[in-house]
Amino acid sequence: MKNVDIIKLSALEIAEKLHSDELSSRQVVDAFADWIDKVEPKLNAFIITTLEHAKVVADKVDELVLRTGIKRAALTPENIKQWTPVRVLDQISEVAVDKNGELHPLCGVPIAVKDVVVTKGVQSTSGSKILEGWIPQYDATLNFKIKAAGLPILGKTNMDEFAMGSSTEHSAYGITHNPWSLDRIPGGSGGGSAAAVAAYEAPFAIGTDTGGSIRQPASVTGTVGMKPTYGAVSRYGLIALASSLDQAGPVTRNVADAAALQDMISGHDPHDSTSIPEELPMNYGATIGAELKGLKVGIVEELDGDGFAPEVRKRFDEAVAKIEAAGAQVKKVSCPHFKYALGSYYLIMPSEASSNLARFDGMRYGQRVEGETAEKMMMNTREELLGDEVKRRIILGTYALSSGYYDAYYGSAQKVRTLILQDFDSAFSEVDVLISPTCPTVAFKLGEKLDDPMAMYLNDIATIPANLAGVPAMSIPSGLAEDGLPAGIQMIAPQKQDSLLYRFGAALEKLLPSIECPLEID
Ligand code: GLN
């Protein structure tokens, strides 16, 4: 197979070809590595690549399968979800086998990981100068799972500093360009993961979503992004932004890949006290043979009005018509408190962030700017090494939490959060799934909203309610809208019903126009 054909395969297609020995893992990693070398100068989707190590892991997987006769577990939904590492075979690649002595079914399929994820032995900066050169001594649980399953990691993807932003322009490591149009934003904070997947630099990637950072980048790059139910994927080892909202999840080019990746990284983790103790139903299994017949679907009235670009709405309306034609019942549902979601989020998120980010003081991690006293050193470090958006949120959060204002700001925001939960409860008593456009517009121009935080925040209007309520939400491409750029449709389900979203998403993606990033690199 030619390299150009390899990089366009989905993650599950690559897995199939590895299982049938049509491809070796090394061949796959080489194909992505070559392409990354070509396109990275234009995209800057990665903060660092780890291609040499990815090749070592790929070689190890190939060697284990071809020479030592160790088998991959069969490529079934059950195995993808239930495979559990019991023994690491090799300290360098850290590939493991399960109790049957078998490798993970997805072993050998490469992946990209957002830089907010703590990765042992590999610089983890969360997009910030303050963590430049920080090499963690442990792995986030999800990264441990990826390594044990034998997925070669291609690199750490670019992001807004500490995951604050909607454009990846707030990264300390340069801006990431949207592969659909290089002068546009790739979304944020996880613009790097979305751009990498859209531009075929990786078959799939890890993102994190506190207010939309998986779904909004997916929407503007024509990819699939899933924010799982809060607690479905361990937060242990994610550099915390707002702990009650943060959730890691997949960024992919189709729904089945997202389901498989979530199945692989999710599950209870004793290191994360908010992780869901029970097993959730299978996701990848739910995508197989999925259809829409009989589902009750609600259009969120409050997320379908002014402020949404005409063609974004048009693609959404066309999707609704197709959902109805496929046998689902569609009706409008009101969530009257959603209009306060943005205000509530931009108090709760900065409040939690101001506390979480207190640990970056020049003492414990990463970089330091010296000063005469410990206090001056901390001041100098934070003054010089944190970016403007991060400082803005720390100031906002500290203010909202200060004794005289706590009830008025943080307290009220928490009350609004409860009202939003109640909106969801009452909506889900009428319908199975809620839908809306994922974001109000297609990708805007780089620089366009950089000096206007409010305009930037308004991007998150449709994605934030799901974080406040902890419910799962997915974005898939709805087609091309303004300027021929991708738009997204968002689906939201009740807590722990991620598999229902995968079923809905997999059925819907077959009905919607399939779009392909036109990236041509000379
Ligand atoms: N755009 C949102 C923000 O700036 C999203 C953050 C996120 O999900 N990490 O807060």
- Secondary structure string (H, E, C) spanning 429-467: CCCCEEEEECCCCCCCECCCCCCCHHHHHHCCCCCHHHH
CA distances in angstroms from 42 to 169, 175, 184, 221, listed in the order given: 15, 10, 12, 15
Three-state SS for 59?
helix
pLDDT the model gives residue 391? 98
pLDDT the model gives residue 281? 96
For 400, half-sphere exposure in the C-beta direction (CA atoms, 13 angstrom radius) is 25
Residue from 27, 168, 34 nearest 521 by CA = 34
Size of the chain, expressed as the number of residues it contains: 522
CA distance 109 to 32: 11
Question: How many Cβ atoms are within 10 Å of 453's Cβ, its own excluded?
Answer: 16
Question: How many Cβ atoms are within 10 Å of 178's Cβ, its own excluded?
Answer: 33
CA distances in angstroms from 240 to 102, 115, 161, 244, 432, listed in the order given: 34, 12, 12, 10, 31
Amino acid at position 289, single letter: G
Please work out whether the CB of residue 349 comes within 6 Å of at least one atom of ligand 1.
yes
- Report how far ligand 1's centroid is from the alpha carbon of 165 (Å): 5
pLDDT the model gives residue 411? 94
Q: What is the DSSP letter of 301?
A: G
Catalytic residue among 24, 126, 181, 189: 189
Amino acid at position 5, single letter: D
CA distance 158 to 115: 6
pTM for this model (two decimals): 0.98
CATH number for the region 3-287 comes to 3.90.1300.10
Q: In the annotation, is 478 catalytic? A: no
Q: What is the full per-residue pLDDT of the chain (522 aa) written as tens digits?
A: 999 999 999 999 999 999 999 999 999 999 999 999 999 999 999 999 999 999 999 999 999 999 998 999 999 999 999 999 999 999 999 999 999 999 999 999 999 999 999 999 999 999 999 999 999 999 999 999 999 999 999 999 999 999 999 999 999 999 999 999 999 999 999 999 999 999 999 999 999 999 999 999 999 999 999 999 999 999 999 999 999 999 999 999 999 999 999 999 999 999 999 999 999 999 999 999 999 999 999 999 999 877 899 999 999 999 999 999 999 999 999 999 999 999 999 999 999 999 999 999 999 888 999 999 999 999 999 999 999 999 999 999 999 999 899 999 999 999 999 999 999 999 999 999 999 999 999 999 999 999 898 888 989 999 999 999 999 999 999 999 999 999 999 999 999 999 999 999 999 999 999 999 988 765
- Report how far ligand 1's centroid is from the alpha carbon of 347 (Å): 12
Q: In the annotation, is 426 catalytic? A: no
- Report how far ligand 1's centroid is from the alpha carbon of 308 (Å): 19
Please work out whether the CB of residue 217 comes within 6 Å of at least one atom of ligand 1.
no
Please work out whether the CB of residue 342 comes within 6 Å of at least one atom of ligand 1.
no
Q: In the annotation, is 114 catalytic? A: yes
Longest dimension (CA), the chain: 70
- Measured from the Cα of 188, ligand 1's closest atom is 1
Catalytic residue among 24, 166, 213, 351: 213
pLDDT the model gives residue 95? 98
Please work out whether the CB of residue 189 comes within 6 Å of at least one atom of ligand 1.
yes
Mutate to test the pocket of ligand 1, among 162, 166, 449 (most ligand atoms within 8 A of CB): 166
Query: CA torsion angle for 279, 204, 507, 492 (degrees, to 10)?
Result: 60
Specify whether the CB–CB gap between 61 and 70 falls below 8 A.
Answer: no
pLDDT the model gives residue 304? 82
Please work out whether the CB of residue 245 comes within 6 Å of at least one atom of ligand 1.
no
Mutate to test the pocket of ligand 1, among 157, 164, 393, 454 (most ligand atoms within 8 A of CB): 164
Q: What is the DSSP letter of 282?
A: P
Tokens standing for residue 328: 């689902």
CA distances in angstroms from 164 to 84, 128, 131, listed in the order given: 34, 11, 15
Specify whether the CB–CB gap between 485 and 442 falls below 8 A.
Answer: yes
Specify whether the CB–CB gap between 135 and 177 falls below 8 A.
Answer: no
Q: Which residues contact 42 (CB under 8 A, 6 or more apart)?
A: 177, 182, 521
- Report how far ligand 1's centroid is from the alpha carbon of 278 (Å): 28
